[in-house]
């Protein structure tokens, strides 16, 4: 079991909501742990199922290919942990490919891979003259966003060639409508989604400077038990 980032002795850092960063073999996780700590979380890189289940928030990072991330999630049973948390209304935040796998399918080089199916639709290659989309870009923030409170006009750091380019989830009358944030690179694609307990960003908040830390702080502040 990995439990990086925990206070000495494993004790809970009082006053900071516990956020588990899912350790399933994805790269670029330590920067996410550091950014979450800077945003006010007691952030732990962990594969401990109990800790992941009980944490105030779960972050699902992801880099590389859609199919490789799905395989790693299934091998570690991370897909089950994500599903159980969401079934109980417990917050989850996906980042980059950790966002992409929340959709039904990913299509890369003609190969289709099933995703987690939390949202309808497919992740496909961006229609842009140069790929990957790498660097800073602005976004068009969705109505009612919590993540982008105070940072709607900021830029965020993207590194990807694929994205969800359509949003087809129908809003349920008894629930708050999802807030969907868009970005333009060759064609419009979804930059972030806030849908009940499930949120995600296509960009890397941990690489997006002060604006990224503020976004993570907005999410951490929304977690149950946050001051």
- Could you give the residue numbers annotated as active site? 96, 204, 206
Give the Å distances, CA to CA, from 183 to 51, 143, 152, 156. 34, 14, 12, 10
Contact 142, 194 (CB under 8 A): yes
CB-based contacts of 85, cutoff 8 Å, min separation 6: 52, 53, 58, 91, 92, 197
- d(Cα 77, Cα 221) in Å, to the nearest integer? 28
Per the rule left: phi > 0, alpha: psi between -120 and 50, beta: everything else, 81 is: alpha
Pairing state between β 42-46 and 92-95: unpaired
User: Is the peptide bond prior to 188 cis by the omega test (within 30 degrees of 0)?
Assistant: no
CB-based contacts of 112, cutoff 8 Å, min separation 6: 105, 106, 122
């Amino acid at each position: 079991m990995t439990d990086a980032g925990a206070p000495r002795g494993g004790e809970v850092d009082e006053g900071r909501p516990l956020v588990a960063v899912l350790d399933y073999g994805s790269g670029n996780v330590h920067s996410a742990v550091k950014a979450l700590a800077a945003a006010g979380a007691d952030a732990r890189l962990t594969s401990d199922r109990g800790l992941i289940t009980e944490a105030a928030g779960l972050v699902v990072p992801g880099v590389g290919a859609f199919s490789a991330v799905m395989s790693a999630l299934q091998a570690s049973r991370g897909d089950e942990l994500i599903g159980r948390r969401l079934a109980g209304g417990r917050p989850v935040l996906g980042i980059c490919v950790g966002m992409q796998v929340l959709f039904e399918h990913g299509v890369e080089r003609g190969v289709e891979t099933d995703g987690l199916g939390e949202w309808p639709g497919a992740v496909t290659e961006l229609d842009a003259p140069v790929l990957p989309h790498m660097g800073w870009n602005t976004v068009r923030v969705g109505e009612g966003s919590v993540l982008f409170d105070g940072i709607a006009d900021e830029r965020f750091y993207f590194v990807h060639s694929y994205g969800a380019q359509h949003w087809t989830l129908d809003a349920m009358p008894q629930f708050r409508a999802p807030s969907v944030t868009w970005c333009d690179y060759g064609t419009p694609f979804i930059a972030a989604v806030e849908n009940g307990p499930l949120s995600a960003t296509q960009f890397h908040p941990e690489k997006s400077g002060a604006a990224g830390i503020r976004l993570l702080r907005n999410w951490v502040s929304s977690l149950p038990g946050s001051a």
